[in-house]
A and B are shown apart, each in its own frame.
Chain A
Amino acid sequence: MRRDLRLACQEQLLPGDSLEAKWETAQALGFGSIELRGHGDGVFAARLGELQRARASGVPMTSVCVDMRHFVGDFDADRRRDAVEQMRQQLTTIAAVGGRLAMTPASYGMFSKRLPPFESPRSEADDTAVLVDGFGILAAHAEREGVLIVLEPLNRYEDHMVNTLAQATALCETVASPALRICADTYHMNIEEADLAASLLAAARYLAHVQVSDSNRLEPGAGHFDWALVLAVLEAIGYEHELAYECRLSGPPEQVLGRSTSFLRRMA
């Protein structure tokens, strides 16, 4: 039983010097929408005019994925505050152009328990307190804007706080807002989850977004990830939203992305 997948592509992967041009290419390559990248320093909010023009031209922009150097879970209070403010702006902006969500990890590239110095300067309890606080603020804002703030677990080398869907679920349950949800990224899942199907089943209630890249972070089909299994389970848990491509490419986008979207559709 094959059903049609809703595939989104991150904007930087698409050739073209405008969102309108990228959208034309995206459709030819098998995508139904674009996922934006949310830079900090007010840059994303400043794109509002560009994004609104794109929307008026018919470009579907479903989500924005954060692209900054500091995050909601930062060790430093000032950087945390700024990250929360940036994410607030991203939520407002994506809502203004008809998107569903803004997403972020707890942190990225700040600390890993598997890399030197191995010992975190902050306790786990304080990690949790920081995240509950930051995501609580963002969830309230998202609720007002009618969109979702989505937390993405990262693998253990990229973050030390939220690595699994189960950990993200626990945070969602603590914050207890209908606007705080989870993104499952297949690349991180491949490293962290013991059982891909069981993890998705357990997180089904909070799952609002999926990002896809293969076992080696390249486009789907370029690695050894079990796509058929995950696509079948996503359908079986009633996941109806996009699968957003966030990946490296094994070759020129015009060549490899079309091959990849066809591949995913065959696996569904």
Chain B
Amino acid sequence: MDITALRAAAIRTLAANWRGSSTVPSPSLYPHQWSWDSAFIAIGLSHWAQRRAECELLSLFGGQWDDGRMPHIVFDPSVQESGYFPGPAFWRSDRVPAAAPLATSGIIQPPIHARAALDLLRNAREPRRARDFLARTYPRLVRQHAYLATHRVVPELGLAAIVHPWESGLDNSPSWDAPLSNVPVDRTLLQRYKRRDLQHAGTAERPTDDDYARYVRLGKAYRDDGYDDHRYAGHAEFFVVDPLFNALWAWSEEALAGIADVVGADPGPHLRQAAAITRAMTEVLYDDQLATFTAYDVLAGARVMRRTVAGLAPLVLAGLPPRFVDALAEQLTSAHFGLLDDGIAGVPSYDLRASDFDARRYWRGPTWLNTTWLVWRGLRTHGLGDLAAPLAEAILDLAWGAGFREYFDPRTGRGHGSTTFSWSAALVLDVVDGLGGPA
């Protein structure tokens, strides 16, 4: 592998996917700006194009609503409605008085943005400019987090809930199978609302039509309630607490504390919030039987008994108590995730030992570089270099071997989904430039 060549290819990929003020996740399948994608992309950009990294985050926050929510898509008005489903005409943010003055979706994605902003400063070649950027962005990030605390936290759990599988970032994760089984499948919705994704990727690699019928039903129900969280909570058919979502929220609260130090604000509330989320996760989401973190179905009042990569995300938290760090490290090296197994590349998104493990279908088994990267960052945070180093190698090997694909077969390394996928290129850059450096 030629690391210089790999780095150059990653830069060329991000340059090609730049659309003037932000980056598309991929040119064909995802022609708008996606929330958590842009955060990962900004991290990659921060290593070579700081000003674009700043623009990436600023343009995303231009889509922030009055209530502080950061929508999962900010639509490019120059792209036709037919370019992506569900587009602006489905979400109808223009009918929501509190929405941003541009077309966006109404659901959110895992809040990794404050962490991306802090990384930007850490990697900045123009640090004074980066500090100015943080001063501008800090209030927006605070409002993003305040939205979660006031509109999404389930009081008795102390953790934020998601109202749609897309809000998890792991759209068709097996963790949603049980909660979704209570959501009726109305296939007629797919006649009214046509999928576009299958024009760009094979059916075996994407969520099913039944999945999509449920996604549409849930999105429509939330939309028809005007995206009013308090009203919607009373009749939501899907209401789940996701460990990855909450882990990134806490990780970003830790980052906000760091940003607060830089901009002259009080880091205390952020540190306390990070600690509270972390503690709540250990109490609510950690399952002793599975020895990992799981999702929690609020409507069923029970944990979802599936091992996914989302359950490993709490590793990123500096404040995660050692016994949980050890448990997750053990989970990672077990047959369920195969770290240190030469036959497994990266961190599979789902339990290798599960009977319904699927090496090709999106989040039901394949290795994704963003979640693998999260685990890598977590391992470094806790000084687990012996596990982190091979994972860094795996990320680079996957990209070198198959290109910057959307996801990879963990057993063969074969690439699937989009080609020239932005966050894959972006996170390769973070790994390359982080080799040998501090966590």
Contact = CB atoms under 8 A, between A and B. Distances in A.
A263 to B, nearest CB: 10
Given A195-B20, A198-B15, A229-B49, 16 more contacts: A1-B7, A194-B20, A197-B49, A201-B12, A201-B15, A226-B49, A226-B51, A228-B48, A228-B50, A228-B51, A229-B48, A229-B51, A229-B52, A236-B15, A237-B8, A237-B12
Contacts of B18: 195, 197-198
A232 B49 contact: yes
A236 to B, nearest CB: 4
16 contacts: A1-B7, A1-B432, A1-B433, A195-B20, A198-B15, A198-B16, A201-B16, A228-B50, A228-B51, A228-B125, A233-B11, A233-B12, A233-B15, A235-B8, A236-B8, A237-B8
Interface string A184-208: 0000000000110110010000000
Interface in A91-133: none
Interface string A23-40: 000000000000000000
Interface string A224-261: 00101100110111100000000000000000000000
B288 interface: no
Give the interface size class of chain A: 10 to 19
Q: Which 10 A-B pairs have the closest CB atoms?
A: A232-B48, A236-B11, A197-B15, A236-B8, A229-B49, A228-B125, A226-B51, A236-B12, A267-B125, A201-B15
Interface residues of B, number: 18
Nearest to B12: A236
A232 B45 CA distance: 11
Contacts of B433: 1
A87 B302 CA distance: 81
Interface of B: 7-9, 11-12, 15-16, 18, 20, 48-52, 125-126, 432-433
B336 to A, nearest CB: 35
A28 B7 CA distance: 32
Main secondary structure of the interface of A (DSSP, over half): helix
A228 B16 contact: no
A266 interface: yes
A176 B311 CA distance: 58
A226 B18 CA distance: 15
Nearest to A266: B125
A236 B47 CA distance: 13
Contacts of B16: 198, 201
Contacts of A195: 18, 20
